[in-house]
Chain A
Amino acid sequence: MTPARSIRIAITALGGQGGGVLAGWIGKLGEENGFIAQTTSVPGVAQRTGATVYYIELFPKKAAEARAEEPVLALMPVPGDVDIVIAAEMMEAGRAITRGFVTGQTVLIASTHRDYAISEKSGMGDGRRDAAQILEAAHAAAKTVIAGDMAAAATEAGTMISAVLFGALAGSGALPIDRACFEDRIKAGGRAVEQNLRGFAFGVAFAAGSANDDGPGAAEADGMVAMHDEAGAPALAALQVFPEAVRFYVGEGIKRVSDFQDTAYAGLYLERVAKVLAADREAGGAARGWRLTQAAAKHLALWMSYEDSIRVADLKTRGARFDRFKQDVRAEAGQIVDVYEFLHPRVEEVCDILPAFLAKTILNSPILRRGLQAVLGGGKRIPTTRLRGFIPLYLLASARFLRRSSFRFALENARIEEWFEKILAIAPRDYDLSIEITKLQELIKGYGETHERGFGNYRSIFSAIDAVAEKPASSSCLRSLREAALQDEHGNALRAALAAMAANDKAAA
């Protein structure tokens, strides 16, 4: 007979995820089923959204009674000595792995959903870390992995993730305790029993599913990604002239641009993309996967559909948007939902959509500026679901026929032309660099000051292109400048990168 040993269970979670509830359930469950239970946690500041570990040891009561002694149980997990790791979030599973809790003897139960850390979500571009490699490592490190989006399951069941994780633990068979006893524990808790049992059942199902599928492929794709397939190619004959590899993007671009303005404007878009395609073909694009055309189709569409107040009003008043926000705020079927927009129109936003001469007059006159700003006032809450909010926005959206003659349109068009010419000019001599120039568009985003900052960054990189083009690693140099621009909102990284580049050039000369 092997000597009695406690079962060691670590729960890694974020403060506020209900890890304490789960630890409590497991402890009580153990006590009710022939174990001596000890649970510990570290409350304190970690409970305020930080990462935290709950630890449970279950020791067979019979073995203790046979010795007439109390076992000595540990208060914290020792790396390499944890039997079951329950991670309430994917990166917390990663943290458990790096802390050495997951070994070849460990059953790892992990929710694959992401709860982004502040460093991930505050990035100016995409600061998210790669969760797929964590799941891959989990499969390599653990004895068994039970993984799935348990947060989504919890939401569906109307409960907390702890119930789903508890179910996954029951289904894993890692504890020598019957499923019915787990359910009894939930019932004995007396709170939200029905929802918890529903969540629990989802958890059990996750465990059952992973018995067959032990590969990283089990990772749940984020529901949003599926959109790519749904879009489908539009039935526009124009698309047929484009190579297969770029059709999707051109199709999406046409949709976006005509949605922004009209079919004629989409024609201009197509014309421009066709020019890029020709340049791409010249540069041997067929062998290069038409990457330039692909990038241009994408970024050209985005720039040509810049954000102005007509666009915003249009998007805010659409029927599809009304359906979407009801879904996003989880309204019940048929529930009345009132929506208020946080809009803060400034003189600049108004001038954007005015004819150029008028806009310039206002912008150049401090008195007119101040007067108009006084009329506009400060931030506004527009009730779009009420007529007094909807109708003004609706009328504004209808003003798109004025857009072609607006100040902003001329401005953006000139900028686009300048950028576009550059792409076409560089493409024959430096294919990769031309792609990087195309991608610079992603720096220009947002509204107001955000837009000004983004465009400023774009501008300073754009004016360095000729210098960059002289370098041997021109495209990677331009990419690193673009990445530097996305490092911080004060532009410090970009300034430093540009300065370093200039200093290098000087040294070389």
Chain B
Amino acid sequence: MAERSFEKEVEDLRIGAGEVFRGEGILAVTKALLQSGVSYVGGYQGAPISHLMDVLSDAQGILEELNVHFEASASEATAAAMLAASVNYPLRGAVTWKSTVGTNVASDALANVASSGVKGGALVIVGEDYGEGSSIMQERTHAFAMKSQMWLLDPRPNLTSIVKAVEDGFELSEASNTPVMLELRIRACHVYGAFEAKNNAAPSFTLKNAIENPERDYSRVVLPPSNFVHEVEKIENRWPAAVEFIKSRMLNEFLGGYQGDVGIIVQGGLYNSLIRALELLGLADPFGETEIPIYCLNVAYPLIDDELKGFCLDKKAVLMLEEGQPEYIEQSVNAILRNADIQTKVVGKGVLPKAGEYTGQVIGEGLRKFFATHAPSLLAAAPAPRESALPAEKNAAIAEAVPPRPAGFCTGCPERPVFSAMKLVEKEIGTFHVSCDIGCHLFSILPPFDIGNTTMGYGLGWAGASALNANAGKRTISVMGDGGFWHNGLTSGVGNAVFNKTDNVLVIIDNGYSAATGGQDILSSRAVNKTRSTNNPIAKAVRGLGVEWLKEVHTYNIGEMKKTLKDAMTTATKGPKVIIAQAECMLNRQRREKPLRAKVIKEGKRVVRARYGVDPDTCTGDHSCIRLSGCPSLTVRDNPDPLRDHPVAWVNNDCVGCGVCGENAHAAILCPSFYRAELVYNPNRIDRFLSTLRRAVIGYLQRRPERQANAQFGGAGR
């Protein structure tokens, strides 16, 4: 079960023509797919399109009604290969993933399907994880579109435009026999808005039709001689067909005014930020009304030469607003204009930053520079930017005071104790090389753990250490999540290590979900899932590949974890060593258990809830415990002792009782301040009897005169 449930929202997917659909961008895309008569959908979760997968997963009922097949694909490569169904048959299909990382994984299949060409509309919906909040390398999907010659849609970030782009995308794909990519920036995926819906459409040609009436056409298979033919087809047929379709359907928009010496060319996705920047310069109204001509590229690739030439012909200069680098569009615009001998100046990265997200502020600054040189009169009435009333040095002092907030493991996360244990092992045997993977466990590289050297991609943790397999006095540790393991780590990591006879160590973190992407189920999830096969243990797969040294450890048992890690690092046994560190993702566990517990307590049944605490009078304020944990609920507060200055550790009320702080106190022999408290709800008679008895005896002893005398100044009371 995923982190967020859309069970309520998916009902909105049923609404029909004329009704207003309200929801997140990614939900609107789902609705648009259903309106377009899609036959199959696949994908791999990851921000910012995780919710698309979650919505589809929760919408299985509706999908069945419409004969839509939905798969939670094993990887992006699997998802991309799904599009093969549209090569021979008039089936509309859509796949989705996080870009550019997912596109990297998918690109083998994508290049093949792009070479074969498609009969049915094939849409690749990519969530662009670029700019603020991104967790991946900053690259552009644009390059993939160019290299495989797939068309790239980049619609304006409002729900109506996004939905239209999905519908247009299928048609464009069919008109040009080419898969089409639809790129959505992170905020567009999560923008809440509204659009006017249409009826859902069941596909007229179904998967059943295709399966029962197979069609073969060897000219669609990527093998000589067809592969050479495909290349020519791309240039001579598919590209011109796409250009014709884009022109005739006016997918790109000419907005704003149509006069003046200057104009702006903008990627569709940046349009709203551009309008806001113009509005702040007094050059546009809130409806986007402006005198400045704007050519809005809802299709970022290919460029339409005629449209571009027409737009630039009467202008002295145009500003090219293109996010990311290299500036492929700007280069192409220059080439097209120069080839046509049009001398309009193209200004882009000259006034805008070469790298980084184009926020409203960045665009505003770029516009000021552009207008200052090429149309200064436009700035005559521009209001000065509103600035902070704070003096600059005060602002700098505040900036200095505000601490960075790196992401970290959640409260009670089962992955934390693995790295606590690793830190303790390092204390004993010295530091070692740690090859990381993608997933929540990558937070180990951040404070307070600072453990990890590299991350080479999802599931590639062990592969990332494969070169470091030589005769040496130490071993390396690689980390891989269960998500990464099933994505490809099984073969690229474990299979590779077995085959190449590594002597190194792999820790597989088995928390039962693809946790970092929102807690989706995977093959080894323990949950029962009606529509998927779960409960396929990782250990079985690892053994099946020939690993003999294999240990399964419960992560919260730090002592055992430490021992196992040390054993793996120091044992005389040669060959690959795999430790499967198991414990359920705490977010998912709490989501399941909390309401259940509340219900049981309400019903009057006996429940014991554990949580942890720190005694402020034995805590001396060194915070070793925090440096070994970083749990959000283990924090500090003022020292109640007026003689001590350093704050004491304390466990706040978010504690879920995972016990890592206590285990750490034991394993690292820290201090006696931690305690585990067990709160008994609806105690039974035995509980009450024992408690009364204990309280009587303990109370008597605590009240004995000499104890009172000793404690008269009440040091512990505070």
Q: What is the interface of chain A, defined by CB distance below 8 A to chain B?
A: 3-6, 14-16, 24, 27, 31, 36-53, 55, 59, 63-64, 67, 69-81, 91, 94-95, 97-98, 100, 102-105, 115-126, 128-130, 133-134, 137, 140-141, 155, 222, 224-225, 227-228, 231, 234, 248-249, 252-256, 258-260, 262, 298, 301-302, 307, 312, 314-322, 324-325, 328-331, 335-344, 346, 378-379, 381, 384-387, 390-391, 394, 400, 442, 445-450, 454, 489
- What are the residues of chain A within 8 A of B277 when measuring CB–CB? 78
Kindly provide the distance from the CB of A497 to the nearest chain B CB, expressed in whole angstroms. 19
- What are the residues of chain B within 8 A of A133 when measuring CB–CB? 397-398, 401
Hey, what's the 0/1 contact readout for B279-301 against A, CB within 8 Å counting as 1?
01000011110000000000000
Q: Which one of B191, B402, B640, B710 lies within 8 Å of A75 (CB-CB)?
A: B191
- What are the residues of chain A within 8 A of B133 when measuring CB–CB? 42-46, 52
Q: Which of B112-120, B471-479, B489-497, B697-705 contacts A (4 or more CB under 8 A)?
A: B697-705
9 contacts between A and B (CB under 8 A): A72-B271, A121-B634, A122-B623, A126-B645, A141-B388, A222-B637, A318-B711, A338-B678, A394-B701
Contact across chains for A331 and B630 when beta carbons are under 8 A apart: no
B659-708 CB contacts (< 8 Å) to partner A = 662, 665-672, 674-681, 683, 687-688, 691, 694, 697-699, 701-703, 707
Please, how many angstroms separate the alpha-carbon atoms of A29 and B106 in the complex? 42
Known A-B contacts A45-B135, A125-B621; the reply to A50 vs B390 at CB < 8 A is: no
B49-74 CB contacts (< 8 Å) to partner A = 50-51
Contact across chains for B618 and A40 when beta carbons are under 8 A apart: no
Please, how many angstroms separate the alpha-carbon atoms of A73 and B22 in the complex? 16
Q: Which of B207-215, B407-415, B526-534 contacts A (4 or more CB under 8 A)?
A: B407-415
Kindly provide the distance from the CB of A391 to the nearest chain B CB, expressed in whole angstroms. 8
Known A-B contacts A27-B192, A76-B360, A103-B387; the reply to A6 vs B286 at CB < 8 A is: yes
9 nearest A-B residue pairs (beta carbon):
A379-B666, A42-B133, A255-B713, A320-B717, A80-B386, A445-B620, A44-B47, A78-B360, A117-B403
Please, how many angstroms separate the alpha-carbon atoms of A116 and B280 in the complex? 36
Contact across chains for A44 and B394 when beta carbons are under 8 A apart: no
Known A-B contacts A81-B386, A116-B635; the reply to A321 vs B615 at CB < 8 A is: yes
Contact across chains for A137 and B670 when beta carbons are under 8 A apart: no
Contact across chains for A72 and B408 when beta carbons are under 8 A apart: no
Q: Which one of A51, A81, A338 lies within 8 Å of B280 (CB-CB)?
A: A81
List the A residue with the shortest CB-CB distance to B427.
A449
Kindly provide the distance from the CB of B530 to the nearest chain A CB, expressed in whole angstroms. 26
Asked if B575 is an interface residue, CB under 8 A from chain A, the answer is no
Asked if B644 is an interface residue, CB under 8 A from chain A, the answer is yes
- What are the residues of chain B within 8 A of A137 when measuring CB–CB? 390, 394-395, 397-398
Contact across chains for A321 and B617 when beta carbons are under 8 A apart: yes
Contact across chains for A325 and B623 when beta carbons are under 8 A apart: no
Q: Which one of B272, B688, B701 lies within 8 Å of A73 (CB-CB)?
A: B272
Please, how many angstroms separate the alpha-carbon atoms of A93 and B287 in the complex? 31
- What are the residues of chain B within 8 A of A249 when measuring CB–CB? 642-643
Q: A64-B287, A116-B635, A255-B714 are in contact. List 11 more A-B contacts (CB 8 A).
A: A42-B186, A50-B407, A70-B287, A121-B635, A129-B402, A320-B711, A330-B653, A344-B672, A346-B669, A378-B666, A447-B620
Asked if B187 is an interface residue, CB under 8 A from chain A, the answer is yes
Please, how many angstroms separate the alpha-carbon atoms of A447 and B625 in the complex? 12
- What are the residues of chain A within 8 A of B386 when measuring CB–CB? 80-81, 103-105
Known A-B contacts A6-B286, A45-B407, A378-B666; the reply to A98 vs B646 at CB < 8 A is: no
- What are the residues of chain B within 8 A of A51 when measuring CB–CB? 405
- What are the residues of chain B within 8 A of A39 when measuring CB–CB? 191-192
Contact across chains for A74 and B273 when beta carbons are under 8 A apart: yes
- What are the residues of chain A within 8 A of B237 when measuring CB–CB? none
Q: Which one of A38, A227, A248, A322 lies within 8 Å of B718 (CB-CB)?
A: A227
Known A-B contacts A79-B361, A337-B678, A447-B671; the reply to A252 vs B642 at CB < 8 A is: yes
Contact across chains for B713 and A234 when beta carbons are under 8 A apart: yes
Q: Which one of A46, A330, A331, A449 lies within 8 Å of B407 (CB-CB)?
A: A46
Asked if B359 is an interface residue, CB under 8 A from chain A, the answer is yes
Contact across chains for A385 and B698 when beta carbons are under 8 A apart: yes
Please, how many angstroms separate the alpha-carbon atoms of A40 and B403 in the complex? 24
Please, how many angstroms separate the alpha-carbon atoms of A71 and B691 in the complex? 66
Contact across chains for B399 and A98 when beta carbons are under 8 A apart: yes
Please, how many angstroms separate the alpha-carbon atoms of A321 and B440 in the complex? 38
Please, how many angstroms separate the alpha-carbon atoms of A70 and B160 in the complex? 10
Asked if B108 is an interface residue, CB under 8 A from chain A, the answer is no
B142-176 CB contacts (< 8 Å) to partner A = 157-158, 160
Known A-B contacts A45-B407, A231-B642, A339-B675; the reply to A78 vs B683 at CB < 8 A is: no
List the A residue with the shortest CB-CB distance to B661.
A342
- What are the residues of chain A within 8 A of B385 when measuring CB–CB? 79-80
Known A-B contacts A81-B280, A256-B713, A447-B670; the reply to A97 vs B395 at CB < 8 A is: yes
Q: Which one of B160, B623, B702 lies within 8 Å of A318 (CB-CB)?
A: B702
- What are the residues of chain B within 8 A of A3 when measuring CB–CB? 285-286
Asked if B17 is an interface residue, CB under 8 A from chain A, the answer is no
List the B residue with the shortest CB-CB distance to A263.
B709
Contact across chains for B193 and A128 when beta carbons are under 8 A apart: no
Contact across chains for B691 and A119 when beta carbons are under 8 A apart: no
Q: Which one of A46, A95, A115, A445 lies within 8 Å of B402 (CB-CB)?
A: A95
Kindly provide the distance from the CB of A90 to the nearest chain B CB, expressed in whole angstroms. 10
Please, how many angstroms separate the alpha-carbon atoms of A453 and B135 in the complex? 37
Kindly provide the distance from the CB of A30 to the nearest chain B CB, expressed in whole angstroms. 11
Contact across chains for B672 and A318 when beta carbons are under 8 A apart: no
- What are the residues of chain B within 8 A of A98 when measuring CB–CB? 395, 398-399, 402
